[in-house]
Amino acid sequence: MRVRTVLLLLLPGLGVLSGCRGPNIAEVKGRVTCHGKPVADAAVTFSPVTRSDDDREPGKPGTGYTDAQGAYVLSTYRNYDGALIGKHNVTVSLEDRNPARCKRSTQTTREVKAGRNEIDIELSE
């Protein structure tokens, strides 16, 4: 009888906890180009922007690398799960040996919205 009472008290709490999925993440993919041409082997980082002065930990960044066609898919907690929903400081970095004729590091701000996001980034010289 006592086990049944404990289970009846715990089950509603477990139902509430199972509804908590953690941070809101959305799929993010896109292409990195320079003068309209794909940029291979670029590191792409989406770092969440703080929401207030008290926000010391805005969240884990989403990262990815471009393939030969300049395409990337972000990963934050698991492979290809996307990035946190909200505004991000986006950095695209190229190694010195990368043949693309554009800046080695570019920063911009983009927003990740709920659902699927396709965010293309054009690099400049």
Structural domains present in the chain: 23-123 (2.60.40.10)
Is the separation of the CB atoms in 24 and 58 below 8 Å?
A: no
Q: What is the mean pLDDT of the chain?
A: 87
- Tell me: the pLDDT tens digits for 20-58? 445 699 999 999 999 999 999 999 999 999 877 777 788
Q: In this structure, what token pair is assigned to residue 40?
A: 């291979």
Is the separation of the CB atoms in 48 and 88 below 8 Å?
A: yes
* Confidence at 124, pLDDT banded by 50, 70, 90: confident
Residue 102, Cβ neighbours under 10 Å: how many?
Answer: 19
Write the CB contacts of 114 (distance below 8 Å, at least 6 apart in sequence): 24, 26, 85
This prediction's pTM:
0.79
